[in-house]
Amino acid sequence: MSRFTKVVVIGLDGLEPKIVDSMLQAGELPNLARLRDRGGYSRVATTTPAQTPVAWSTFATGVNPGGHGIYDFIRRDPKTYLPDLGLNRYEQKNAFLPPKAVNLRRGTPLWELLGAAGVPSAIIRCPCSYPPDAVKGGRMLSGMGVPDLRGGLGTSTFYTFDPAVQPQESESVVRLERRGDRVHAHLIGPRIPKTGADAKSDFTVEIRPAEGRALLRAEGSSDPLELRVGEWSKWLKVKFKLGLLQSVQGGVRFFVPRFEPDLELYASPINFAADAPMFPISNPWDYAGELTQRIGPFYTTGMVEDHGGLNNGRFDEAAYLSQCEQVMREREQMMRLELDRLEAGLCYVLFDTPDRVQHMFWRFGEPDHPANREHGTGSYGQVVRDHYRRCDLVVGEALARADDRTLVIVLSDHGFSSFQRGFHINSWLQQNGLLTLKPGTDPGEDAGEFFHNVDWSRTQAYALGIGSMYLNVKGREAQGTVDPADAPQLADRIVRGLTGVVDPERGKVAINGVATKADTYSGAFAAESPDLVVLFNAGYRASWTTALGGIPAGLFEDNVKKWSGDHIIDPTLVPGVLFMSTPFQGGAARLLDLAPTILSALGVPKGPAMEGESLLP
Amino acid sequence: MKILVIGLDCATPEILLGDERLVNLRRLMAGGAYGRLESIIPPITVPAWMCMATSQDPGSLGVYGFRNRTDHSYAGLGIVSARSIQELAIWDQIAREGKRSVIIGVPPSFPPRKVNGICVGCFLTPDTTTDAYTYPAAVKDEIAALVGEYEVDVKGFRTDRKAWLRDELFRMSRKLFTVVRHYLTSTEWDYFHFVDIGTDRVQHGFWKYHDPQHVLHEPGSPYAEVIRDYYRHLDEEIGRLLELLSDDTVVLVVSDHGAQRLDGGFCVNEWLVREGLLVLDQYPAQVTPFDQLSVNWGKTRVWSEGGYYARVFLNVRGREPEGVIAPEDYEAVRDDLKARLEATVGPDGRPLGTLVFKPQEVYQQVRNVAPDLIVHFGGLYWRSIGGVGYPGLHIQENDTGPDDCNHAQFGSFILAASNSPLQGEQTGARLLDIAPTLLELGGYDVPGSMQGRSLVSGRALEAPSGFTAAGEAIIRERLAGLGYIS
């Protein structure tokens, strides 16, 4: 018989060990302290790169990225050099079938091994679980990777009368129209497959100043939705007709920045309706619907927190935090529900929000952050620490539901750091003669994104994603120039060239090193990996435009966005944290060791491909 | 293009095209064309499927129903077999170009047809365990290895044992789809056509539970959803089939006729007796089937066979052994009879709305021994009862066992193909149009002898739409909301 009947894993995305250490010391995280005292606490080595989807996939499968195939949020098609989402893709077997989502995370997740051994599991929102794994005797709600109704990770809509307002990042703008005492507008649904046009669903808003509220009436919905200034609305269920025979449902929430002098309205990305998703988001397929029945409608997209609305200045930090709190509560309700009915096996619940809070609030802890010049500093200096305390309450909830045969694990997938300066990797390649622009084009605006003006016949390497770099290899890339035999030499040249690059403005080393494919990845899907991964120093990251194949002028830029913290740097600088309710060998713990640890706790042998070892004594 | 015909016997447009839970069918409809499909007269399984496959009307095939007069004697009706149909079917047409077909359960196909490919017998197969019901013969063993005993019908489907019937129907259909999937993937084929007969049987067996307008409707019955469940089962199975196809396939989901409630039976020979047209030596003391009656042929002018519709025969001098109607009076007698049949009334004394057809008027040719009149009592809301000895002309119970539904004139079709110019709902499609349509979409010549018209003729065939590289806007949208990029 195994030592434990249950394992409960609480994922706290992006919890940074340095902050945890200091708060533990100050006695501000009592539940984590209890856990540390009962069992132990250590750092846990993350993956290369230190990205959420990569790290949690290694957690799930117990293999390095070469064994599960997730390397970056963004991958590229070597035949077109175009970027695409690195987490999943859609395929259509023939014209008669709907497109199907295909998870790019491969390998064998530990819950599949549990299921095969007859051990049940409930997995809530593990990244790269879309479409959900079909696990026997398991429940799974998909997480990061689930799109909104538009098919992206989240496109919001801003409504205004002002004709000068232009759409910002990941956003549509719809002009409001006044007709009589009502304001008219529409929600933007998916593209209609046949015509490519946007499906729309009309709504009206009636402002009742005396009552301090407005009523939003949507097509096909009987009850009006109440709107109040400075508040998030309840969920509006919306249906879009895609044709005579097809329709799709979604859920949306509104935020009202103001009624006066003219109404402005923010609509969240339109989420799949959990009880009628466009593509499956749970296993069994009706599990998401069951959750809706029990806890009400909830956010279903992969990245739930409306960071776009904050980044674009459509609402302020307070509104963002209130939305984050809503997400935390939803997730807590799911956790309670599953812990209360878990009799044996594994329950995993990921709280993504600490990652999203730190991204947007990191600058308030750094007076010299360039973003503060643009956005000023408010009274948000304590937000990150407050949120850690909030996470500690979640841990308390989990501990309260754990008996002495329950192993409780709390971990983060990576730590957190500052993002003050962006580095243009493609521009560096261009300056070093490894990437050539078409004649008459210079780096900067006219080079554009998507490698628009790259002369591939004279290009040896290119970067896209958040630190990933590829060589332009003959036979693999469409217009490859690098003989595979020469690739290691070229890679070595780039490693030597980039390692130790100094930011002249700050006088600091920006790049600590570069990981090579050969040294970093092994396994069935290693061939798909980037050839090189740039390991940035704290404070630095691949620049915004690098991610989509941009080649700006210069090498460095200030990061002036509210998205001011990040973690996609040298992984040794951003380990995660690991707490367990039983003593463990924490000295050199790696995310790789978690799957073997959980399996061992439940008496199931680890998978043959798993590279780590159980941390249990 | 390859052609897959998914035949659902009796699949009725109200459900097939109307139930939005049939998601796979909905998708085919959204991507292709669909609509009601006008069947033949009479809308009966045999000969409808072969009319579809040959684009010939029943008169031209010389097959007017499941049972036909074989000569002008009074010996009753003979049952059709695969050999009754001599016209070239679509699979025979394409075999001339060396193309291969798989034909499973397309009535009538017992004895099994010798096709360029595989033929599996239909519901006319007496016993799949003992009869050679496949071509080639070895296919029988392959099927046995796949599904064990393979049923071509639920024997005795007109029964009160409803739970048993339901289970048998689903079981039979699942076996059929297992066999279909097997041959869809394990053989080379250019034309694949199968027919699920269970769709017909489930409606005959459960319509009164399904339809609140049925005179015997039982509200809240545990069988209320059996018919719709069966359609959902079909939708799931069809979804699985679609997974196995390549883009260069024409997919047709089609039925031979529709289904509608049965209000009762009209006792046609009873009526003829009362009208003095049918003379018996002795009126029976109890209900007696027609073939057991002692008919005074020397005084009888008209008789009929029962069934879902009535086949009415005139006793013509020089044609029938004891004919009494002078040949020169034939048309006048027939016209008079047609008018009297059209005037038949229901139990409430109001006209039934009976439709009466002269074969010579509805068929391009009239071969073999046709009925003199074909009668759809009450537009087929009433079936025709052949026995005599009933107290009235209208009965609720059926002479061949419990049966709640009759065939409707309109079946349904869904046509999806990457090269088809037809989109959305279509009106005016007829069963005989199917074969020329399929041949044209498949890239074959349409023989001039076919009586239907191609639904796509005269319309530009579009090249199969290939993969188009995703535009940057699409990529941006797919990455939208990923905070890590700008």
Q: Which residues pair with A90 in a beta bridge?
A: A101
pLDDT tens column, A534-571: 999 999 999 999 999 999 999 999 999 999 999 999 99
pLDDT at residue B471 in the model: 63
Q: Please state whether beta strands A417-423 and A556-558 pair in parallel, antiparallel, or not at all (unpaired).
A: antiparallel
pLDDT of residue A286 exceeding 80, the answer is yes
Q: Do A95 and B247 touch (CB under 8 A)?
A: yes
pLDDT of residue A184 exceeding 60, the answer is yes
Mean of the pLDDT values across residues B323-347? 97
pLDDT at residue B460 in the model: 60
Q: What number of H helices and E strands is found in chain B?
A: 14, 20
Do residues A300 and A288 touch, judged by C-beta distance below 8 A? yes
Which positions in chain A touch B249 (Cβ < 8 Å)?
Answer: 94, 96
Reported as a pLDDT band with limits 50, 70 and 90, residue B466 is very low
Reported as a pLDDT band with limits 50, 70 and 90, residue B64 is very high
Please spell the DSSP secondary structure of A63-105, one letter per residue.
Answer: S-HHHH----SEEEETTTTEEEESSEEEE-SSTTS--EEEES-
Q: For chain B, what is the mean pLDDT?
A: 94
Handedness of CA A382, A387, A393, A399 (dihedral sign): negative
Mean of the pLDDT values across residues A579-597? 96
pLDDT at residue A91 in the model: 86
Distance CA B138, CA B483 (A): 62
More confident call, A447 vs B100 = B100
Handedness of CA B347, B351, B354, B356 (dihedral sign): positive
If 0-12 CB within 10 Å is exposed, 13-18 middle and 19+ buried, where does residue B367 land?
middle
pLDDT at residue A6 in the model: 98
Lowest mean per-residue pLDDT among A27-36, A330-339, B98-107, B396-405: B396-405
pLDDT of residue B58 exceeding 70, the answer is yes
Give the C-alpha distances (Å, rounded to integers) separating B87 from A81, B67, B83, B114, B449: 58, 18, 10, 14, 10
Distance CA A61, CA A106 (A): 8
Which positions in chain B touch A98 (Cβ < 8 Å)?
Answer: 27
ipTM of the complex: 0.79
Q: Do B251 and A96 touch (CB under 8 A)?
A: yes
Task: Spell out the residues 6+ positions from residue A570 whose beta carbon is closer than 8 angstroms to its own.
Answer: A512, A513, A535, A536, A537, A538
- Chain B residue with the nearest C-alpha to that of A85: B479
pLDDT at residue A137 in the model: 87
Q: For chain A, what is the mean pLDDT?
A: 95
Mean of the pLDDT values across residues A106-126? 97
Give the closest of B243, B246, B483 to A563, CB-based: B483
A426 touches chain B (CB under 8 A): no
Q: Give the predicted TM-score (pTM) of the model.
A: 0.83
Residues of chain A numbered 244-273 and touching chain B (CB < 8 Å):
244-246, 269
Distance from CA of A2 to the nearest CA of B (A): 41
Per CB distance under 8 Å, which residues of B are interface residues toward A? 20, 26-31, 242-243, 245-247, 249, 251, 416, 418, 424-425, 464-465, 469-470, 472, 475-486
Task: Spell out the residues 6+ positions from residue A445 whose beta carbon is closer than 8 angstroms to its own.
Answer: none
Mean of the pLDDT values across residues B85-90? 94
Do residues A156 and A306 touch, judged by C-beta distance below 8 A? yes
Closest listed residue to residue A527, CA positions, set A569, A570, A487: A487
Q: How many CB pairs under 8 A join A and B?
A: 111
Residues of chain A numbered 269-298 and touching chain B (CB < 8 Å):
269
Q: Do B470 and A82 touch (CB under 8 A)?
A: yes
Q: Please state whether beta strands A461-463 and A225-227 pair in parallel, antiparallel, or not at all (unpaired).
A: unpaired
Lowest mean per-residue pLDDT among A186-200, B145-159, B235-249, B329-343: A186-200
pLDDT of residue A337 exceeding 50, the answer is yes
pLDDT of residue B284 exceeding 80, the answer is yes
Reported as a pLDDT band with limits 50, 70 and 90, residue A1 is low
Q: Which residues pair with A123 in a beta bridge?
A: A140, A348
* Residues of chain B by 3-state class (helix, strand, coil), percent to 5: 30, 20, 50
Distance CA B457, CA B371 (A): 34
Give the closest of A84, A156, A303 to B475, CB-based: A84
pLDDT at residue A477 in the model: 97
pLDDT of residue B463 exceeding 60, the answer is no
Mean of the pLDDT values across residues A112-118? 96
pLDDT of residue B465 exceeding 50, the answer is no
Q: Do A170 and B29 touch (CB under 8 A)?
A: no
pLDDT tens column, A467-493: 999 999 999 999 999 999 999 999 999
- Chain B residue with the nearest C-alpha to that of A193: B31
Residues of chain A numbered 47-66 and touching chain B (CB < 8 Å):
none
Residue in the structure block whose two tokens are 């590229």:
A76
Q: Do A94 and B247 touch (CB under 8 A)?
A: yes
pLDDT tens column, A82-102: 999 999 998 888 888 888 899
Residue-wise over B308-342: b if at least 16 C-beta within 10 A, else e?
Answer: bbbbbbbbbeeebeebbbeeeebeebbeebbebbe
Reported as a pLDDT band with limits 50, 70 and 90, residue A342 is very high
Reported as a pLDDT band with limits 50, 70 and 90, residue A21 is very high
Lowest mean per-residue pLDDT among A91-95, A325-329, A511-515: A91-95
Residue in the structure block whose two tokens are 């599960």:
A68
More confident call, A241 vs A352 = A352
Give the C-alpha distances (Å, rounded to integers) separating B478 from A105, A504, A523, B215, B481: 18, 36, 28, 56, 8
Distance from CA of B207 to the nearest CA of A (A): 26
